[in-house]
Structure 1
Amino acid sequence: MSLMDISKIFSLLQPKEEDEDKEQCQALSSAVSTDDVTLLSELLSQENYRRYINTPSGWGVPVTPLRTAAALGHLRCLELLLEHGAEVDVLDVKAQTPLFTAVSGKHLDCVVSLLKAGADPNGSQYNNCSPLLTAAREGDVDILRELLRFRAEVDVKPKVPEWASNATTCRGPLYLSAVYGHLDCFKLLLLHGANPNYNCTDEKMLARIKQPKTVLEVCLRYGCGVEYIQLLIDFGADVYLPTLIIDKTTKQNEALLLLLKERVCPKTLMSQTRLMIRRCICLANKEPAIDRLDIPMTMKNYLKHHIS
């Protein structure tokens, strides 16, 4: 992060001149915290309260009313605040947006409402993490689906400065969903265009990290199971990238056999055709594009990986 970025974050910690009167801020915060939508509506109808709608308050880490509503999952208060002009991507002192806190709290309805109101699905550029990385790690497939529907970056990387580059840089959404055993999230990410060779095609990453682990290697190392390996193969992962170390302690016999078999047996023409068609569809959300193709439903389902 640049000095300007750091200065911006620290500026959020400084009290503002218009914060001298704390009563209005505390009243708004209290109404949201108790999910008292009637009181909140009454307060926001008054200009002397409404002018503090984006003002952080509270002990410890000061936060805005919208951030509080998102963190607690108080949907009615959240929507009322948005109706009255609450800033949808306002940052707290941790550079987290209300959407990020809603995702962290697994409040699906609040996530959807914030996204519809224009929240950035990728969160803040000043935060190392992102809503998509959080959803993939936690295995919340419904929230992950909504973020992807609103065009969150499917191969988003943790934001770390180049001088602090380490293994954390490699831990994208596909990586995290595999390590934490979230098969539904893993498949959903691939369906939305996640790179099955993540970590091994980015020139900048290869220049910073000598031997980044492929997703295939990660799946084998963590015992993710044959389902993960099959999905990576089906979505076109390079099966020759992993460095296989096979010894008597290896517990991944079935997955290893599948990978070794794939190395010597060429893909079927159907499988190759599916890969090429999906690659030609450049849209982030491929399913609607596939639905518009003038082909039989059986073939559409095959392109969507709905059948084995």
Structure 2
Amino acid sequence: MVLVGAVNVNMSLMDISKIFSLLQPKEGDEDGEQSQALNNAVSSDDAALLSELLSREDYRKSINARSGWGVPVTPLRTAAAQGHLRCLEILLEHGAEVDCLDVKAQTPLFTAVSGKHLDCVLALLKAGANPNGSPYNNCSPVMTAAREGDVDVLRELLRYGAEVDVRPKVPEWASGGTACGGPLYISAVYGHLDCFKLLLLQGANPNYNCTDQRMLARIKQPKTVLEVCLRYGCGVEYIQLLIDFGADVYLPTLIIDKTTKQNEALVLLLKERVCPKTLMSQSRLVIRGHIPSTDKDPAIQSLDIPQILRNYLKHDTCELTL
């Protein structure tokens, strides 16, 4: 029995070694060697050396080649992951593919967002990077920024047209995993209030999961954002924002018994169920609903109305009274 176990372990190790050997650059592979030289220059943040290498035609031909032991990557991916802006800009100037994928189907933008490298994120977006990342990756730049609480990166992604209600990409049979997913959920669960408000300002659906017919057909009782906020004790600020942005306060199923904490957030929600919205609040919801989701602020600012009303539409002020 011991011998059999040892053989199995040895076979597994041999298989793993074979897999990793396949991922290593092949000797004599000219593209691999030149790409490795480019990657080394980027890793050292040596912009001068990188420029010198790319002045040669043979190196420019290898600019999108992958190299490196274990998980081969392109020089642009290395620059984005490490936050080496000048090297990233040089690579883009010499024609590096802006949305090239690594073995995880992650784009350079995704890795820049993960590393919180705002300057690299901006450079990639300006160069035409897809703000939604790769359709082959289960996550997205927006969801990553929402999880990390990086409101500046999140703002730029949304400004360049990223999908505000992007869903995790999972197969139909795993649809239960999407019952509580999406940027708005993630920002609430991780306690990132600034990201939570920004997503709502940019058109995130406060009733996420409860208006999608495909989702409702697969999940008997999808969780609303309000329910998630109450469950995770997000606080009254989250509940108030959802109410202000038009969440249906009657959707959440609330089981209130002796063990339920009558906290401020729950009290606010129950109060909202018996108090109708003001006319001003309803008007704001209607007007904002007719403004395109991408970068609403400039559209609101261009409206021919008093500044105090523009501020109200942007949620920059408290409730107005007539």
TM-score, structure 1 normalization: 0.93
Aligned-partner Cα distance in 1 for 2:201–2:188: 15
Q: 1:266 to 1:53 in 2, by over 3 A?
A: same
Figure out how many residues of one structure are paired with residues of the other and give that number: 297
Aligned-partner Cα distance in 1 for 2:139–2:32: 32
Q: Which residue of 2 aligns with 1:68?
A: 78
Aligned-partner Cα distance in 2 for 1:120–1:267: 39
Report the AA paired with residue 244 of structure 1: L
Aligned-partner Cα distance in 2 for 1:250–1:135: 33
Report the AA paired with residue 231 of structure 2: R
Can you list the C-alpha shifts for 1:189-242, whole angstroms capped at 9, x where unaligned? Answer: 000000000010111111111111000000000000000000000000000000
1:80 aligns with 2:95: no
Q: Which residue of 1 aligns with 2:263?
A: 253
C-alpha contact 2:24 2:72 (8 A) present in aligned 1: no
Of 13-22 and 33-42, the range deviating more from structure 2: 13-22
Q: 1:13 to 1:164 in 2, by over 3 A?
A: farther
1:1-308 equivalences in 2 (<5 Å): 19-168=29-178, 170-251=180-261, 253-308=263-318
Aligned-partner Cα distance in 1 for 2:82–2:110: 12
Q: CA deviation at 1:35?
A: 0.2
Of 20-29 and 150-159, the range deviating more from structure 2: 20-29
Q: Which runs of 5+ in 1 are unaligned?
A: 1-11
Q: CA deviation at 1:167?
A: 2.5
Q: CA deviation at 1:15?
A: 7.5
Q: Which runs of 5+ in 2 are unaligned?
A: 1-21
Can you list the C-alpha shifts for 1:244-285, whole angstroms capped at 9, x where unaligned? Answer: 122333335211111111101110111011111111113422
Q: CA deviation at 1:14?
A: 10
Aligned-partner Cα distance in 2 for 1:124–1:169: 22
Aligned-partner Cα distance in 2 for 1:80–1:64: 14
Q: Which residue of 2 aligns with 1:6?
A: none
Q: 1:90 to 1:301 in 2, by over 3 A?
A: same
C-alpha contact 2:25 2:67 (8 A) present in aligned 1: no
C-alpha contact 1:91 1:98 (8 A) present in aligned 2: yes
Q: Which residue of 1 aligns with 2:9?
A: none
Q: Secondary structure at the match of 1:170?
A: coil
Aligned-partner Cα distance in 2 for 1:24–1:41: 13
Q: CA deviation at 1:166?
A: 1.8
Of 203-212 and 104-113, the range deviating more from structure 2: 203-212
% identity of equivalent residues = 82
C-alpha contact 2:25 2:68 (8 A) present in aligned 1: no
Q: Secondary structure at the match of 1:24?
A: helix
C-alpha contact 2:179 2:222 (8 A) present in aligned 1: no
Two-structure CA RMSD over aligned residues (Å): 1.8
C-alpha contact 1:70 1:98 (8 A) present in aligned 2: yes
Of 240-249 and 259-268, the range deviating more from structure 2: 240-249
